[in-house]
């Protein structure tokens, strides 16, 4: 085993020790095949009011524009599937938002990994990402052998399902690349397509984000269009419908990250409790949470829409 292979193997072992569930490596190069798909998605207006998606087109496709001299993209997954869930008769939060904001938690883990790598391998240039920069995470994860992109456009692992966050380290290190995941195990299954109440999932593994419940409840700043009334199935922040119905998620196991543990109120609140939430309680309950992104006014707008 040469030095490149030994270093790659050590990085993988260290990542698993730090709590990541899987890790793979791909060569840092221009994503030529993804370019026309991204351009078509944007031209179709599927990004809705997320105008930031139009920015940094080249950076999304070329990791060397994010890290000059980059040679490797390290892709990782971090499980967030909870042990316990909200009560059935309540307004729903996406499971990823039960605990502390994943940007904080996963980035801390990434920084720990990079620090350990530098201690072992010496100085190198790198940046860490988790849904925090113009980078096509799912494409890199598939290239790194971690899974395939399902009809709902999310990455799926045969052994772990899809309740995990994606993260990346782009580095100017030459590492041993893994074999891309080339088999699509969705087959003829259309459960996610059929279950989406707003028909946001369209053919060719494409999601019209401008129709997605997660988009409406988090990204959209205007009033939610009345035409989607009674289609939200009580989701007040995000949506897990396409994840919940996916057969591969029968393999999801509870996470072991203390920072993802929810406050008891999140699991126990009834619809009435949520409807009566105050701004002070919102700030206390969702301090350092991904739910902060929608703000108190956004959550109240969502609740008003659900209650109508």
Q: For residue 47, what pLDDT is reported?
A: 86
Say how far apart CA 100 and CA 256 lie, in whole Å: 13
Mean predicted confidence (pLDDT) in 249-267: 97
Task: Give pLDDT, residue 52.
Answer: 79
Q: Do residues 305 and 213 touch, judged by C-beta distance below 8 A?
A: no
Percent of the chain surpassing pLDDT 90: 88
Quick check: 68 and 248 in contact, CB under 8 A? Answer: no
CB distance 153 to 196 below 8 Å: no
pLDDT top residue among 1 and 110: 110
> 3: how many CB neighbours lie within 10 A of its CB?
9
Q: How far apart are CA 157 and CA 248, in angstroms?
A: 8
Number of domains in the chain: 1
Of the candidate ranges 45-59, 116-130, 139-153, 240-254, the one whose mean pLDDT is the lowest? 45-59
Catalytic, 284? Answer no
The two structure tokens encoding residue 19: 């709590």
Using CA atoms, how far apart are residues 47 and 39, in angstroms rounded to an integer? 11
Tell the residue number behind the tokens 């939200």, with chain if given. 232
- Check 62, 108, 112, 131 and give the catalytic one: 131
Tally the C-alpha atoms within 13 A of residue 169's C-alpha that lie toward its C-beta.
Answer: 31
For 124-128, the CB contacts below 8 A with 24+ separation are: 124/171, 124/172, 124/173, 125/67, 125/68, 125/69, 125/171, 125/172, 126/67, 126/169, 126/170, 126/171, 126/172, 126/173, 127/66, 127/67, 127/169, 127/170, 128/167, 128/168, 128/169
pLDDT band with cut points at 50, 70 and 90 for residue 48: confident
Q: What is the pLDDT of residue 167?
A: 98
How far apart are the C-alpha atoms of 23 and 146, rounded to whole Å?
A: 7
Question: Domain span at residue 7?
Answer: 1-308
Residues 282-307, mean pLDDT to the nearest whole number: 97
Q: Considering Cα of 281, then 101, then 98, then 114, what sign does the dihedral take? A: negative
pTM of the model: 0.95
- Token pair belonging to 48: 């809705």
Q: Shortest CA distance to 249 belongs to which of 174, 167, 171, 158?
A: 158
- Cα 209 from Cα 222, distance rounded (Å): 15
């Amino acid at each position: 085993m040469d030095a490149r292979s030994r270093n790659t193997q050590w990085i993988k072992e260290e990542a698993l020790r730090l709590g990541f569930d899987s890790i793979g490596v791909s060569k840092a190069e221009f994503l030529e095949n993804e370019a026309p798909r991204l351009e078509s998605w944007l031209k179709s207006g599927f990004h809705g009011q997320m105008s930031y998606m139009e920015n940094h087109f080249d950076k999304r496709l070329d990791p060397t524009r994010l890290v000059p001299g980059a040679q490797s993209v390290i892709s990782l997954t971090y499980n967030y599937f909870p042990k316990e869930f909200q009560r059935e008769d309540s307004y729903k939060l996406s499971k990823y938002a039960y605990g502390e904001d994943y940007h904080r938690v996963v980035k801390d883990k990434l920084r720990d990994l990079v620090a350990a790598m530098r201690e072992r391998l010496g100085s190198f240039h790198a940046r860490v990402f988790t849904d925090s920069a113009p980078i096509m995470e799912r494409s890199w994860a598939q290239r790194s052998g971690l899974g395939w992109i399902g009809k709902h456009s999310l990455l799926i692992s045969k052994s772990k399902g899809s309740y995990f966050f994606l993260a990346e380290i782009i580095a100017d290190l030459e590492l041993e690349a893994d074999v891309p995941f080339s088999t699509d195990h969705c087959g003829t299954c259309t459960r996610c397509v059929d279950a989406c109440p707003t028909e946001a999932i369209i053919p060719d593994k494409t999601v019209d984000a401008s129709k997605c419940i997660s988009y409406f409840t988090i990204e959209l700043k205007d009033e939610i269009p009345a035409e989607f009334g009674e289609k939200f199935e009580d989701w007040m922040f995000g949506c897990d419908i396409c994840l919940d119905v996916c057969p591969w998620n029968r393999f999801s196991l509870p996470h072991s990250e203390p920072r993802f543990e929810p406050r008891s109120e999140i699991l126990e609140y009834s619809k009435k409790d949520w409807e009566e939430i105050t701004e002070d309680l919102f700030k206390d309950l969702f301090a350092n949470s991904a739910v902060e992104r929608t703000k108190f006014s956004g959550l109240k707008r969502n609740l008003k829409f659900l209650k109508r």
